[in-house]
Amino acid sequence: MGLITKSRIKSPWIVHYSCGGCNGCDIEILACLTPLYDVERFGILNMGNPKHADILTVTGPVNHRNYRVLKNLYEQMPDPKVVLAIGACACTGGVFHNCYNVLGGIDKVIPVDVYIPGCAPRPETIIDGVIMALKKLNEKGSKAE
């Protein structure tokens, strides 16, 4: 394993965007940062700035108001980058799927790499999803080189 590959896997920085779900998934994501799960063990940091992040985690269904914001955030992230759809709403639209203002899952707007199902998904599932995303991140990175 090359040094760059190892560093990429060991240091995934996350930016979290809530498209406007019920906040259940957001709370589960934040639970991952607490001492019980402590994802900083794996070098995972919550950055809050798309320009610094490797992984975009999105919760909630995308709607007509916020799809531009979501797209903008995605485009601001430097390559290689991956997108995680967390929770039923972000994957498919969930209980909001046939609302007049909702477009559906976030894959209607940006390409999604990993879908994490659940309402809300448990922190273990989210961590599992991030690990799967890291494989994809590395594939994308080595393809770019």
Partner 1 sequence: MNGSDILMALAALALAPLIGGILRGLDRILTARMQGRIGPPLWQPFYDFIKLCAKSKKASHRGPVVWAWAYLVLTVTAWLLFVLRQDLLILLFILAFAGASLALGAFSVRSPYAHFGAYRELLQMLAYEPILLLAAVAIFLKTGSFMVGDVLGFEQPLLISLPLTLVAVLIALGIKMRKSPFDIAASEHAHQELVRGVYTEYSGPTLALIELTHWYELVLVLGIISLFWVIPLWVGIIIALSCYFLEILIDNITARLRWSWMLTVGWSLGVGLILLNIVIVEFFGLGLRL
Options 20, 24, 46, 95; binder of partner 1; rule CB under 8 A:
46
Phi-psi region of 87 (alpha: psi -120 to 50; beta: other; left: phi over 0): left
Q: How many helices (H) and strands (E) does the chain have?
A: 5, 7
Options 20, 24, 31, 80; binder of partner 1; rule CB under 8 A:
80
Residue 81: CB minimum distance to partner 1, A: 9
The one segment of 5-13, 62-70, 91-99, 123-131 that binds partner 1 by CB under 8 A: 5-13
CA distance 103 to 125: 25
Task: Kindly state whether residue 6 participates in binding partner 1, applying the rule CB under 8 A.
Answer: yes
Options 1, 3, 98, 100; binder of partner 1; rule CB under 8 A:
3
CA distance 58 to 17: 5
